[in-house]
Amino acid sequence: MQHGKHQSATAVVAKVPGGKHPGVKQPRVKLSTRQKMERAYHQYGFPLGFLALPVVIYAIFVISPFVQSIYYSFTDWTGLSSDFKMVGFKNYDWLLHDDLFWTAVGHNVLLLLVVPLVTLGLGLFFAFMLNVGGRSKKNAAVSGVRGSSIYKVVYFFPQVLSIAIVALLFQFTYNPRNGALNAFLGGIGLDSLQQEWLADPKLALWCLMVVMVWCNVGFYVVLFSAGMSAIPKDFYEAALLDGANRITTFFRITLPLLWDTVQTGWIYMGILALDAFAVVQIMTVGPGGPADSTQVLGYMVYTKTFRDGQAGRATAIGVAMLIVTLIFAVIVGRLGRRERLEY
Amino acid sequence: MGSTPDFGRRDLIKRSAALGLVAVPSISTLTACASGGDDGNKVDKGKKSDKNPLAVNESAALDVVIFDGGFGQKYAKDAEAEYEKAYPKTAGKVKHSATQKIQTVLQPRFNGGTPPDLIDNSGAEQMDFGTLVAKNQLTDLTPLLDAPSVDDPSKKVRDTLRPGVVEMGQFDGKPVWILYYAYTVYGVWYSKTNLEKLDAEYPETWDDMLKVCEKAKKKGIAGWTYPGKFPYYMPFSLYPFIAKIGGPDTLIAIDNLEPNAWKHPAVKAAFEAYYELYKKGYILKGSPGLTHIESQTAWNQGKALFIPNGSWVENEAKKTTPKDFQMSVGAPSSLDSSDKMPFGTIWASGGEPFIVPKAAKNPEGGMELLRIMLGEKSTKNFVKQVSSLTSLNGGTDGLSLPPGLQSAQEALEKAGTNVVNPRLQDWYVALQKQQIGVGALGEMMAGRMTPAEAIKKIQKFADETAKDDAVKKYKHA
Amino acid sequence: MSAQAQPSELPGAIKEDEAPGAAGKAPGTGKVPDFPPKGRISSEGKVLNVFSHGMLVLWGLLVTLPLLWAVMSSLKTDKEIFTSPWGLPASLHFDNWSRAWSKSNIGDFFLNTVLVVGCSLIGTMLLGSMAAYVLARFEFPGKRIIYFMFVGGMSFPVILALVPLFFVMRNMSLLNTYHGLILVYIAYSLPFTVFFLTSFFKTLPSSVAEAALIDGASQTRTFFQVMLPMAKPGLISVGIFNFLGQWNQYMLPTVLNTDEDKRMLTQGLVQLAASQQYKGDWSALFAGLVLAMLPVLGVYIVFQRQVQTGLTAGALK
């Protein structure tokens, strides 16, 4: 992005340092007011016209509800009637002293760290296997495994299913009595590994993470695999010749070249992980349990708004969620400052 | 994604200024809609007559939302057909919808001032009554209660109801905000057949209970199961058990959130008795992870003898119940001879809470539909369809009741005046379900918490609720 | 995109007939065998091949088994589901499917969803690419604010906005309408679309657009006739993201679209699932799940090539 310092709206943008957009602006000196306006129209008319509709729709349906929500977080709104008053920072004070809130924050942070990491890691791993793991052929230093297109199709399956459906499916899978998982473990003689899964506070959150990872790995396999197949084979060949092994080629060639894609995926996964609402609501004991072991901020917003009629507090939690996300985005942004390679 | 933009102080200032600009108009929209809930959109009242005591507008539309749960929605549709028959000009104007997502569907409508005319506010996602009442969102149902019954014009609706129903609908003082349509008997549910197979009877004392469970265990059958996913089913048999041991005041103190109410010795005795079921291995394996349906199904299959439940279970489990199951409900067994209340003490109270919103367009219509539902014809239809009692006292004459309902009726007769009615689940949903249920009882029954720890935790939760000024408080009269 | 800046660690020389010796293990799994001298297909190559096939098959099973299990359960009786979770059904109970189908109006909901998602997808792509193009290639006051406003939207938890959004919709008489839902879907898809496409447009070479402008084409025409076709790969990728997101959207329609006839597929399914849970009709519940999965899986299998090329193009930027 350009570091354009914008002058006030009436002034003509005379020069943009390092301007990369020729055909858009030509520097000029000394203009009459009318000319200035014409130029301003000429210059900004097109961007304005193109932006107007998206910005208006976005402002009405996204920005304004969110700003209203932030306003509500300073009220004692119940969510059930339009009768409420301002209470200052009371909801935030409650929040900071609520044990459940901090438990939920902890779980959200864990989800934010683990789910994207594991999903993207597995995605990269399988994509690498698909593209580079094959038996070597004549004339090719590296080659994909046979049937890689079938894998890509199959792996993508969970991604096209609604999360509500997936959550429901896994709820049955985890069922301790006749769920597929325990039945399977029993069937292959591993009875000792049978667990209560979602009913065990030590395992429940991890069970949810498995579902979130299960859903999304396929998408990143396809995405990364596409990226990898676009990396010229010569790079690998050269590296291999140079004495590098496949692991080094992965970290020295594949990963740096895919970094942008990984970063986009990271942000996307992070947002998904933060919103663990559907899996918590559909799958867990309580929901949110056992013993609050799967409480997350999204579900708390939901229960406070809808079950307890404390929408003021709920919106305060929502604002906290926003802050967690922003911190996450800043961290990912910093990771993105890594040196980039181009080809 | 280009290079990372450099966030400067200037940008921050600019951005916050922009936010301010966006914020101003949206707050004004907000105030505009805050004042939206006026009464100007009500339908005109109709002409009052003997046949139309509530002065229902005879041609106005009616908007009904039913909770589509264990009882389904057909009973309500049938009653709506009766309504259309009574007011032929409304034909085709009764808008019926059914959902399990009461909150998400209706909450915005309340906010927007366009709620339906009659709601069955029930299920796991019911709206909080405390808030609805506190925020003056409901219509007082007194006119309905004082109207003549459909069956006998000489009797008021109020006098045809089962004892306790009207009181349950009151929160503070006179107005009656809720009418509980179903009448639920809670307790320990079992299959007579399965007990007979073990050569046992329903245990009237806790010692016998343990003996029966031991006997079952030897045959590879569990004594108890429960919906561990929703551990707030435990209280259905546990709370009357506490009342039986310590007297009704123990429960009233608990409902009133009195300090140290949970420290009462009766609570400890009841918790320890239940904990023993876990310690002796009488609980069906996997129960902590089961939903209500899953645990009921295991119980239907004879994998466990007892389950804490309410009388809706007979209808809910209809599909999985064997023909010769002989479903029955038992009152909590006696712990010992010092129990304050006799064997037979049971929890029975209204279920399926119906409300008429204050901002409803046609509140008279909503009440009239309830009046029709409380008539004998609709009641019998309900009893037949979903095998549950209604709040209409009687209404079962001439019907052959299914076994579970029959036993519930007998249990009620046996209990006489020893009926308790704990209110925690209507008054403080978060406390009852999430904190006591999932946070403590579920943990104790799964063996991860001792009774002493559970009590300590529950007392802490109760104290927090008592202190929280965002939660409206209620007291037993 | 341009081929400059070769990674320094890569020597330029390439030799034919080089078979790589291979690390016998996956990245990150410990021991790394030495790179063998140049030569024939090495045994390590085979080890790697076996290993990678093994891992790939394992994940393939992990993905397909739960789905197959659901299909199998949907053809069983309730009793079979409970007594032998992995057993094959004694006979195929397709009546479960018809029960689920007739109870849930899945067919109607499917059409509703196609209509709404189809329109919102077109709208999202059009408006999103217009905004992104301007934000990527023009300088004007307030540009960064607008960009951050859009991108910041990615971090808003939707649940926070639900009730105020309901008011906004009600005041504009958009509740329970298809066009209202379409507008909302578009609005909530814009952040990611703008974020993704802005960076995509930045990577496109400007020479073609310049040439078009010099030839006298208007900015608008340049955009639609030159830039959009060039951006097609990026559009397809983000289109796939958006399609999946909108198709599976549950929260927004639950609150904003309560009219029973206008339900989206996800609403209908959750409704079906919830009511089957209360009624204990397990086999129909599994059947409903399968009915919901099959069409989407079918559509995916038919279009999987396009989906993958779309993603490929996106990854190439």
Is the confidence at residue A31, as pLDDT, over 70?
no
Band the pLDDT of C316: cuts 50, 70, 90. very low
Shortest distance, CA A271 to any CA of chain C (angstroms): 7
Confidence check: pLDDT of A342 > 90: no
Tokens of C132: 């992104």
pLDDT in the model for residue B43:
86
For the cut 80, the answer to whether the pLDDT of residue C196 exceeds it is: yes
CA torsion through residues C221, C224, C229, C234, sign: positive
Polymer length of chain C: 317
Name the residue facing A240 among C18, C81, C266 (closest C-beta).
C18
Residues B454 and B336 in one domain: yes
| Contact status, residue B299 vs residue C280, Cβ threshold 8 Å | no
Averaged pLDDT, C13-35: 37
Name the residue range of residue B436's domain: 185-348+420-467
Which residues are bridge partners to B345 per DSSP? none
- Look at residue B202 and tell me whether its pLDDT is greater than 90: yes
* pLDDT band for position C23 (cuts 50, 70, 90): very low
Across B348-366, average pLDDT: 93
Please check whether residues B147 and B66 belong to one and the same domain.
yes
Output the pLDDT for position A36. Answer: 67
Same domain, B229 and B176: no
User: What digits encode the pLDDT tens for the residues C160-169?
Assistant: 788 788 878 8
pLDDT tens by residue, A179-227:
888 888 888 888 888 888 999 999 999 999 999 999 999 988 988 887 8
Domain count, chain B: 2
Interface confidence, given as ipTM, is: 0.77
Band the pLDDT of B8: cuts 50, 70, 90. very low
Distance CA A166, CA A173 (A): 10
Task: Identify the band that residue A135 occupies on the pLDDT scale cut at 50, 70 and 90.
Answer: low
Is there a domain that residue B219 lies in?
yes
Neighbours of chain A (3+ CB pairs under 8 A): B, C
- Domain end: B377, B406, B435, which one? B406
Where residue A140 falls among pLDDT bands split at 50, 70, 90? low
Average pLDDT of span C199-214: 84
Which residue from B393, B170, B394, B187 is spatially nearest to B306, judged by alpha carbons?
A: B187
Inspect the interface and report whether the beta carbons of B430 and A308 lie closer than 8 Å.
yes
pLDDT for B17: 33
CB within 8 Å of chain C, chain B residues 112-151: 112, 114
Q: Are residues B192 and B238 in the same domain?
A: yes
- Other Cβ atoms closer than 10 A to C151: 18
**Chain A window 117-136: which residues touch C at a Cβ cutoff of 8 Å?**
122, 125-126, 128-130, 133-136
| Residue B190 belongs to a domain | yes
Lowest average pLDDT, out of B56-70, B118-132, B276-290, goes to B118-132
* Per-residue pLDDT band at C259 (split at 50, 70, 90): confident
pLDDT band at residue B45 under the 50/70/90 scheme: confident
Q: How confident is the model at residue C83, as a pLDDT?
A: 75
| Residues of chain A positioned with their CB less than 8 A from the CB of B26 | 63-64, 67-68, 71
Name the DSSP class of A188.
Answer: T
Kindly list the residues from chain C whose CB atom is less than 8 angstroms away from the CB atom of residue B105.
254-255, 258
For C100-316, CATH gives 1.10.3720.10
A39 touches chain C (CB under 8 A): no
| Inter-chain residue contact B111 with A81, CB threshold 8 Å | yes
Residue B92: HSE in the Cβ half-sphere, 13 Å Cα cutoff: 1
C5-10 CB contacts, 8 Å cutoff, 24+ apart: C5/A341, C5/A342, C5/A343, C6/A343, C7/A235, C7/A252, C7/A253, C7/A256, C7/A341, C7/A343, C9/A239, C9/A242, C9/A252, C10/A235, C10/A238, C10/A239, C10/A242, C10/A253
Task: Tell me: do B216 and B309 sit in the same domain.
Answer: yes
Q: What percent of chain A has pLDDT over 70?
A: 82
pLDDT single digits (tens) A300-323: 988 888 788 888 999 999 888 888
The mean pLDDT of A229-241, rounded to a whole number, is 78
Mutation target to probe the C interface, by most C beta carbons within 10 A, among B12, B19, B99 is B99
The pLDDT assigned to B39 comes to 47
Task: Report which of residues C189 and C263 the model is more confident about.
Answer: C189
Q: How far is residue C136's CA from residue C178's CA, in Å, rounded to a whole number? A: 32
Question: What is the per-residue pLDDT for B10?
Answer: 35
Higher per-residue pLDDT: A45 or C57:
C57
Query: Is B17 within 8 Å of chain A by CB?
Result: no
Q: Do A303 and B430 touch (CB under 8 A)?
A: yes
Q: Look at C140 and A319 and tell me if their CB atoms are within 8 Å.
A: no
Give chain B's largest Cα–Cα span: 84
Interface check for B278 against chain A (CB to CB < 8 A): the answer is: no
Distance CA B215, CA A284 (A): 34
Q: Cβ contact (<8 Å) for A82 and B33? A: yes
CB contact under 8 A, B1 and A336: yes
Two structure tokens written together for B206:
């806790």
Which contacts of C92-96 are long-range, i.e. CB under 8 A and separated by 24 or more positions? C93/C283, C96/C283, C96/C284, C96/C286, C96/C287
Phi-psi region of B247 (alpha: psi -120 to 50; beta: other; left: phi over 0): left
Peptide bond between residue A290 and the one before it cis (omega within 30 degrees of 0): yes
Would you place residue A241 in the very low, low, confident or very high pLDDT band (cuts 50, 70, 90)? confident
Choose between A327 and B419: higher pLDDT.
B419
Q: Which residue of B has its CA nearest to A336?
A: B4
β-pairing verdict for B179-191 and B222-224 = unpaired
Q: For residue B371, is pLDDT > 60?
A: yes
CATH of the domain at B80: 3.40.190.10
pLDDT higher than 90, residue B87: yes
Assign B170 to helix, strand or coil: strand
Q: Is the confidence at residue C28, as pLDDT, over 60?
A: no
3-state secondary structure of C296: helix
Q: Which of B26, B33, B289 sits opposite A175 (nearest CB)?
A: B289
Domain boundaries, chain C: 100-316
* Whether C11 and A145 lie within 8 Å, measured CB to CB: no
Average pLDDT of the segment spanning A86-100: 92
Could you tell me if C292 lies within 8 Å of chain A, comparing CB atoms?
A: yes
Tell me how long chain B is.
477
- What is the residue-averaged pLDDT of chain A? 80
Map out the domains of chain A with their CATH numbers. 1-72 (no CATH), 93-335 (1.10.3720.10)
Evaluate whether residue B157 is within a structural domain.
yes
Neighbouring chains of B at 3+ CB pairs under 8 Å are A, C
Q: What is the mean pLDDT of residues C91-120?
A: 85
Q: B429 with B294, same domain?
A: yes
Nearest C-alpha of chain C: how many angstroms from B105? 6
